[in-house]
Amino acid sequence: MRYAAYAQAFARTARRWNGKYLLSVVGKARSVPRAAPLLRLAPARVRHGGLMILAGFHGEEPAGPLCLLRYVHHIVGRAGDLKVPLCIYPVANPFGFDQNRRCTVEGKFTNAGFVHDEDVTGPEVALLRADMLRYRPEVFLDLHEDDHESRAYLYSFGEPQLAARLVATQRAFLEVAEGALSHTPAQVATAGQVRDHHDGSAEDFMSHAGTRASFAIETPTCEDLRVRMAVHLAIIDACLDDIAARRGGGK
């Protein structure tokens, strides 16, 4: 699926929520042959304290964007039932989506440079960063996958109980990582988590922006895509439940 088709399908689905939710163009992302719109689905009026979901930094990690497209009615409907504001950026890197690659047009990092100024990225990060801060989410989720790993895991910041619950959610579907990660053996997962990894990523950035918890979730691309999408959806549901439970709303 090309990004243009994805964006069109997402817009068609999101239109059903007109009045409550609005699909907006945050700005233009560099792509080939021309710039592509960066999309955000959020309440028509900015609401704080909900769940923010970002996906599609790395084009070769399709489960997140495809889960958001396939299950947007479930996710938005359930967030509404639970009275949890939601803000979704379905594809942060349209170029990567089209090329099945993890880099920007210039071959640079896409999910770094949000904070700590460690890596060069590009104008898309500046656009996203400014936009994300406006929503002040309580919990942040960045949907990733790992093509070097046969196990699921999290990069986690903030509240350990919610992090442990998300690992348990992953474990219901897949083995979770324990010990050195295949892509970078210096990164060691303990009970399915790499905690407080300050790599300049979006989840690192949002952990400094006042969230209660901030995560990147990782599923192994060697597993069946339907299973990986189910994991991403179950994680999103678990976050919605957690935010609602703390407010005493919803069931």
Residue nearest to Zn ion (CB): 198
Q: Residue 203, interface with Zn ion (CB under 5 A)? A: no
- Closest contact distance (angstroms) between CB of 198 and Zn ion is 3
Angstrom distance (rounded) from CA 81 to CA 211: 22
| Cβ nearer to Zn ion, comparing 13 with 111 | 111
Q: Which stretch binds Zn ion (CB under 5 A): 57-65, 73-81, 132-140, 199-207?
A: 199-207
Write out the two tokens for 241. Answer: 């439940």
Contact 26, 14 (CB under 8 A): no
**Torsion (CA) 207, 232, 245, 84 in degrees, nearest 10:** 80
Using CA atoms, how far apart are residues 46 and 87, in angstroms rounded to an integer? Answer: 9
Who's near 126: CB < 8 A, 6+ residues apart? Answer: none
Nearer residue to Zn ion within complex by CB, 204 or 223? 204
CB atoms within 10 A of CB 164: 15
**CB closer to Zn ion, 198 vs 246:** 198
Is 15 a binding residue for Zn ion by CB under 5 A? The answer is: no
- Is residue 98 part of the contact set for Zn ion (CB under 5 A)? no
- Judged by CB under 5 A, the residue of 20, 198, 226, 247 near Zn ion is 198
Stretch that binds Zn ion, among 83-91, 120-128, 201-209, 231-239 (CB under 5 A): 201-209
74 binding Zn ion? (CB under 5 A)? no
| First-residue to last-residue Cα distance in the chain | 36
To the nearest whole angstrom, how small is the minimum distance from the Cβ of residue 211 to Zn ion?
Answer: 12
Does the CA dihedral 200-157-22-135 come out positive or negative? negative
Nearer to Zn ion, 204 or 242 (CB): 204
Nearest-approach distance from CB 7 to Zn ion, in angstroms: 31
SS3 content of the chain, % helix, strand, coil (to 5): 35, 25, 40
Q: Does 210 bind Zn ion (CB under 5 A)?
A: no
Which region among 8-16, 33-41, 106-114, 204-212 touches Zn ion (by CB under 5 A)?
Answer: 204-212
What is the DSSP annotation of 56-118? -SSTT-THHHHHHHHTHHHHHHHHHHTT--EEEES-S-HHHHHHT-SS-TTS--SS--SSTT-
Q: Are the CB atoms for 112 and 199 separated by under 8 Å?
A: yes
In the complex, the smallest distance separating the C-beta of residue 216 from Zn ion, rounded to whole angstroms, is: 13
Taking contact as CB under 5 A, which single stretch among the options 13-21, 52-60, 128-136, 191-199 is the one that binds Zn ion?
191-199
Instruction: Output 153 or 155, the one with its CB closest to Zn ion.
Output: 155
Residues that bind Zn ion (CB under 5 A): 198, 204
